[in-house]
Each structure stands twice: as C-alpha cells, then as structure tokens.
C-alpha cells in the first residue's frame, strides 16, 4: 500500500506566493510519490504540527498554512484548507 493524496476540491483561501505554492506542491508531490506526510513536510522548515487527533498543519510561509487529515491506517492525506491560519 502507498500513500494517497485527496485534495477534495480544496483551493487556496488566498492567493499564494510562488514560494508558498512551491512548498505546497513539494508536500503534495512527495505524498503522491509514497512519502509519509511527516517526512514530506520535513523537506523544508514546515513546522509539521498535530492540531487535534488526526488533523495536522504545515507552514507554507509566515502567514499561510495548509491543514489536512492523515489516516495512518489507509495511508491517506486529505487536504482540508490551504491559506490563512487555522
């Protein structure tokens, strides 16, 4: 079984800078390439943080975050929100 990414139609709440979009793409592409989300977030200083139960957050920049759920059993990352603070 490999890691899967479910974007669920989530679009950024705000316009992302080139750097923020690059960080988001790096994370999502790593997960799609079968890298677990913690290791995918470690590819830059993302401040991977557990918010509550299976909900996590990474920093795209000082001002914007991406929030997602991780199902460790099915190896699925479901994006919940991109942009802003959660």
pLDDT digits (tens, 9 = 90+) for 31-67: 999 999 999 999 989 999 999 999 999 999 999 999 9
* % of the chain residues with pLDDT over 90: 85
Question: Domain 4-82, what fold?
Answer: YaeB-like fold (3.30.2310)
Q: Encoding tokens for residue 35?
A: 């890298």
CA distance 32 to 26: 10
Neighbouring C-beta atoms of residue 30, cutoff 10 Å: 19
Q: What is the pTM of this model?
A: 0.92
Residue 8 predicted with pLDDT over 90: no
């Amino acid at each position: 079984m490999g890691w899967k990414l479910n974007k669920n139609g989530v679009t950024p709440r705000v316009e992302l800078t080139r750097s923020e979009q690059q960080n988001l793409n790096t994370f999502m592409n790593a997960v799609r390439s079968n890298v677990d989300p913690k290791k995918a977030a470690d590819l830059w200083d993302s401040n991977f943080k557990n918010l509550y139960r299976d909900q996590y957050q990474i920093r795209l920049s000082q001002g914007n975050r991406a929030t997602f759920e991780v199902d460790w059993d099915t190896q699925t990352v479901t994006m919940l929100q991109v942009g802003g603070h959660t």
